[in-house]
Chain A
Amino acid sequence: MTNSVAPTLVSEASLARLRRAAPALLLLLALALASLLSGSTGGLRLASPDRSHVDQLRRVIGELPSGSLVLIAFDADLGTYAEIRATTRAAIDDLAAHGVRLAIVSFTPEGRAIAAAERDRIIRAGSADPPADLGFVAGSEAGLVRSIESIVPSGAAGETFDAVRQRGGGIGAFDMVLVVSGSDISARSWVEQVGTRLPGLSLVAIAPTFLDPELEPYLRSGQLTALLSTLREGVAYAQAVSAGSASGPGPTVGPLPMLIGMLAALAVLAEAGFRRLGRRGRRPARRRARP
């Protein structure tokens, strides 16, 4: 008897598991198919038609004189960097195209991992002048404040390091800071700790979409000079930059898989909402029937 029941139980459990997993697996399959079909997406456009934020960043970068010093603060999270990777690379290309001298620094460990990987990518791509590496600074807010005074590691040698030293050796030596924002040290930390101490410094930020509502008030108040914080803005910016120079890897995310994923999300929200409303609608009827 045990022998005849056991296989049924196992198969039922497997079936239940498969049933639970099916929606997610189907979604993955749909996204994979949509990614493969992403070449033919007439009528779809991922790049944001609202160019106000894109134009703002392009203007700020365009106004930098050749030879300016720009600091890129890589503090993105490893988990969410994929969303802003193409935008960040486009910004690096844009800055390089304007003859700007770049330096990179990180105040979070994950940001440092990304910064080192990006610098390695730039070197592998054959860049003659990769960004000067200012390394990692510990201490979060305390580290930010300390870097206002001194940011160049002792013993670091090179043209950009010397230029930073000549201008005081701290964050104030830079004409602009591009914050590649994550959730630990975000552009907000820069505004609060650095912006208050160096009010003349231009702070621009690239951030994942989920940080947009938090950072938008700082852009509106003028504490951030420019901000790109949605995937669509990032794609629009990357397109605008590549239209001028045609360099750097384009965005990997296509509009069709995004559309399918968003429609799936809307379907789940609607289904859950209507199911609940349906249950609520049925409940009083049952109560009335009870007596």
Chain B
Amino acid sequence: MRRSILTGIVLVTGPLVLLDLMIVNPSVHGAAGAVNELLVLLAAAAAVGGGATLVAHHVRNLAAADGDSAASIVVLLGMAVILVAGLRPGSSGSSDPAVLWLVAGLLAPIAASVFALLFIFLLAAFRRGFALRVRETSLMAAAAAVVIVLLLPVGGQAGDWLAAGAAWVRDVPLGGAFRGLLIGIGILVAVSAARSLMGLDADDE
């Protein structure tokens, strides 16, 4: 029953959105617009639902003294402080000075610091990769090394040659490989999406 409701709704909403992309028809456009507006609202609802689930999970952890209590307190504190700053009466939401301060002082620097560490982790991963798949990792490391050399910030004539080499690698071998990858991923996405729209994936469940 649940599957047939789901398939039925998918069979109505999906083709409606696709039809709106392909033909110009005011009625279809209006109906697809309504589905679109609903999707935007549902995405926001999913975000709120996700937040509520996270709160419930950590409150449960704290109540049962199960898991890392300090970590749970930190998560809840982080959520609370930003929600209070943005939802308190008189606040202007995401552009409120208190929210902007939290972004500048905590959210952005923590995210940036974690991403900065990835340089070190990435190199460590390369070293480990050699122990797992030697031939593939060797080729990947060689290609990565070539790209890094071509991007070296060198001036003068050598810098011009490196830049010309970087442009050629970007346009020809790398551009060709990534175009193939993009087309391949596009085809797989299209096939997978078409299966969902025809209800084939639901039948497989």
Interface residues, chain A, with chain B CB atoms under 8 Å away: 24, 27, 43-46, 48-50, 52, 77-82, 110, 112-114, 116-117, 119-120, 133, 135-140, 142-143, 145-146, 149, 196-197, 212-214, 216-217, 220, 230, 232, 255, 258-259, 261-262, 264-266, 268-270, 272-273, 275-276, 280
Contact = CB atoms under 8 A, between A and B. Distances in A.
A217 B140 CA distance: 21
A24 B175 CA distance: 33
A217 B37 CA distance: 32
B40 A143 contact: yes
Given A137-B40, A139-B40, A112 B164 contact: no
B126 A268 contact: yes
18 contacts: A77-B111, A77-B115, A79-B115, A80-B115, A116-B103, A117-B100, A135-B94, A139-B43, A145-B36, A216-B175, A217-B175, A230-B151, A232-B163, A264-B123, A265-B148, A269-B148, A272-B130, A276-B130
A142 B111 contact: no
B175 A116 contact: no
B198 interface: no
Nearest to B36: A146
Contacts of A272: 126-127, 130, 141
**Considering the complex of A and B, which 7 residue pairs feature the smallest CB-CB distances, nearest first?**
A79-B115, A45-B155, A142-B39, A139-B40, A78-B111, A139-B43, A255-B153
Contact of A262 (B95, B103, B120, B148): B148
Contacts of B164: 50
Contacts of A280: 134
Nearest to A270: B145
Given A196-B21, A272-B130, A276-B134, 11 more contacts: A45-B156, A50-B163, A138-B43, A139-B40, A146-B39, A213-B175, A213-B177, A217-B179, A220-B171, A220-B175, A265-B148
A197 B114 CA distance: 37
Given A78-B107, A116-B95, A24 B120 contact: yes
Nearest to B99: A116
Contacts of A82: 112
A45 B152 CA distance: 9
Residue from A116, A258, A259, A261 with most neighbouring chain B CB atoms (10 Å): A116
Interface of B: 21, 33, 36-37, 39-44, 47, 94-95, 99-100, 103-104, 107-108, 111-112, 114-115, 119-120, 123, 126-127, 130-131, 134, 138, 141-142, 144-145, 148-149, 151-156, 159-160, 163-164, 166-167, 170-171, 174-175, 177-179, 182
A142 B108 CA distance: 27
Given A196-B21, A273-B141, A276-B131, A268 B40 contact: no
A46 B108 contact: no
Given A213-B170, A272-B130, A120 B155 contact: no
A229 B148 CA distance: 15
A17 to B, nearest CB: 15
B194 to A, nearest CB: 16
Which one of A113, A214, A258, A280 has the highest number of Cβ atoms from chain B below 10 Å of its Cβ?
A113
B40 A113 contact: no
Given A79-B114, A149-B33, A220-B171, A138 B153 contact: no
A27 B95 contact: no
Nearest to B140: A269
